[in-house]
Amino acid sequence: MRILGIESSCDETAIALVTGKGDWLKVENSTVLSQIQTHQQYGGVVPEVAAREHLAAIFPMLERELPFDGQGIDAIAVTSGPGLAPALRVGVEVAKALAWSWGAPLIPVCHMEGHVYASWLPRSKRLFPFFPQRVPKFPALSLIVSGGHTELVMMHDHGKFERIGETLDDAAGEAFDKVAKMLGLQYPGGPNIARLAVGGNKTAFDFPRGMIERDDFTFSFSGIKTSVLYTLRKNEDKLDDAKFKSDIAASFQEAVVDVLTQKSMRAIEQYKPKSFILAGGVAANIELRNRIIKEGERRVTRVFVPPFSYSVDNAAMIAAAGYFRARNPKNFIEPVDLVADSNMDIV
């Protein structure tokens, strides 16, 4: 089965073709056009600007990558939520038009579910398509961590999710972005914090680890954000000191990684999944990846961390989720019935 994936939930316009056979997937092509430079002048993503950029980019991308009549495409998977409503609508409306024009089945996909399915994508191009590869086994536990979400989700089977914990306030990625602004770093904050932290002392500041002592799986990152703000206010004379800022970044990153890792490991010990999946844009953070792999492999047989290119927003992961959803025709939707849902939930 050959799936066209379309992604436009935030500031990346992406399309991909993914072919599946059994549990094995092959990425024929995956194209992502980032809007980072456009939004840097605003200090963050402006929804209406993002939508205009998607509209300008998506049709040339489709013309370059796809046959005009959609020949050979068995279904279309599109991110229908969550995300920025104006941005989502571009991808959704394009997918609806293509499905109607080609007569292809249409599959709405939750963006967060797509991030989970990034771990089913092959880590590299292989000589033989559908070469057996290691894929997650069920039940699988996933830490989904991004700019808008931080949650622990049990995946009992394809498309069957149960949330066991989530943030009560800021998401981890949101905290990264806000602290980056405090430090005068450009958007996107997460990667810039990580780069700045490389030269810093991660024990220089003892920032709070929100809810780390609680036995449940709830998260909170508002406290650490506030603590960083107060630390900067108390040290205004050091704001131009590169080493001081690096120490702040490293200490902040260490605190966030501590919370995410310890909560995840506690969940592994309690739920005893066969696999653990790190998913979401913050999964591109090297410190988090390394810690999750190191600690996870002590407790569970299989730890899955997608390649960097599939950790950030892309359409291959949406096509992957669509492939497994396409196994059940009940997941198809009539184009006229599909609407973008900025609050779409994975469970």
Annotated binding residues for Fe cation, written as ranges, equal 111, 115, 313
Could you tell me where the DSSP H helices lie in the chain? 36-40, 47-65, 85-102, 111-117, 172-182, 189-197, 222-234, 242-271, 286-296, 308-311, 316-325
Contacts of 347 (CB under 8 A, 6+ apart): 153, 161, 162, 163
Q: Scanning the structure block, which residue is given the tokens 């998506």?
A: 58
Q: Label the pairing between strands 106-110 and 75-81.
A: parallel
| Residues 126 and 97: beta-carbon distance below 8 Å | no
Cα distance between residue 186 and residue 163, in whole Å: 33
Q: What residues form the annotated binding site?
A: 111, 115, 144-148, 177, 190, 285, 313
Q: What residues form the annotated binding site for substrate?
A: 144-148, 177, 190, 285
Half-sphere CA count of 1, side-chain side, radius 13 A = 23
Q: Label the pairing between strands 275-279 and 140-145.
A: parallel
Cα distance between residue 16 and residue 76, in whole Å: 10
The three-state secondary structure class of 208 is: coil
